[in-house]
Amino acid sequence: MADVVYVSSIHIERIKGPLRVARLPGEAQPVYFSVHSEIAKHYGLDMSRFGTESHASTIDYVIAGLGG
């Protein structure tokens, strides 16, 4: 078995409702994850209830990371 080459050190904190903040290697600023209108609608979420602005969801970042 090959030796481990890289272990990512990531810290994720839930702020409120679907809003989370992640501290990622290589990023000077925190990255915010939440939901946006299409995803909120799919899950029946009323974003005004959480009082948070919309952000890209984790699935948006996964798709972007895989090249679109």
* Tens digit of each residue's pLDDT (9 = 90 or more) over 4-51: 999 999 999 999 888 899 999 999 999 999 888 888 888 888 877 777
> CA dihedral in degrees (45, 10, 64, 29; nearest 10)?
90
Higher pLDDT, 23 or 61: 23
Residue 68 pLDDT greater than 70, yes or no: no
The residue assigned the tokens 């839930």 is: 14
One-letter amino acid at 52 equals T
Question: What pLDDT, on a 0 to 100 scale, did the predictor assign at position 47?
Answer: 78
Q: For residue 57, which of 11, 7, 5, 22 has the smallest C-alpha distance?
A: 22
- Model pLDDT, residue 53: 76
CA distance 44 to 26: 34
